[in-house]
Amino acid sequence: SQELEQSPQSLIVQEGKNLTINCTSSKTLYGLYWYKQKYGEGLIFLMMLQKGGEEKSHEKITAKLDEKKQQSSLHITASQPSHAGIYLCGADMNYGGSQGNLIFGKGTKLSVKP
């Protein structure tokens, strides 16, 4: 969806390097979700951010939501081959409360070279 812009579209990094994926919206977001998808499989939930300035971490992945709640970043520290996959950000675009209009960005394809 063009309402959620992800960058970069693809990323190749050397194992052990850090990387950042961005997700930007023109609207204020009620909730911002990050999912990971391994090739040919379903989506795995990573994190959800709701408050402006919120930051969450899980293992080596950290996600942040800016104060305006329009931009989020996903940062991976010391990348590993297991981090490879497609990362998608998603958000409910019905401002003021979730009403089911859950859309996603186009995804960022991450490859990690051993």
Partner 1 sequence: NAGVTQTPKFRVLKTGQSMTLLCAQDMNHEYMYWYRQDPGMGLRLIHYSVGEGTTAKGEVPDGYNVSRLKKQNFLLGLESAAPSQTSVYFCASSYSTRGRALATEAFFGQGTRLTVV
* Binding site residues, partner 1, CB under 8 A: 1, 6, 9, 30-31, 33, 35, 40-43, 45, 48, 50, 88, 90, 92, 97-107
Tokens of 48: 């959800």
Residue 2 Cβ vs partner 1, minimum distance, rounded to whole Å: 9
Residue 58 Cβ vs partner 1, minimum distance, rounded to whole Å: 13
Residue 62 Cβ vs partner 1, minimum distance, rounded to whole Å: 18
Give the C-alpha separation, 28 to 42, whole Å: 27
* Residue 67: DSSP 8-state: T
Give the C-alpha separation, 95 to 59, whole Å: 31
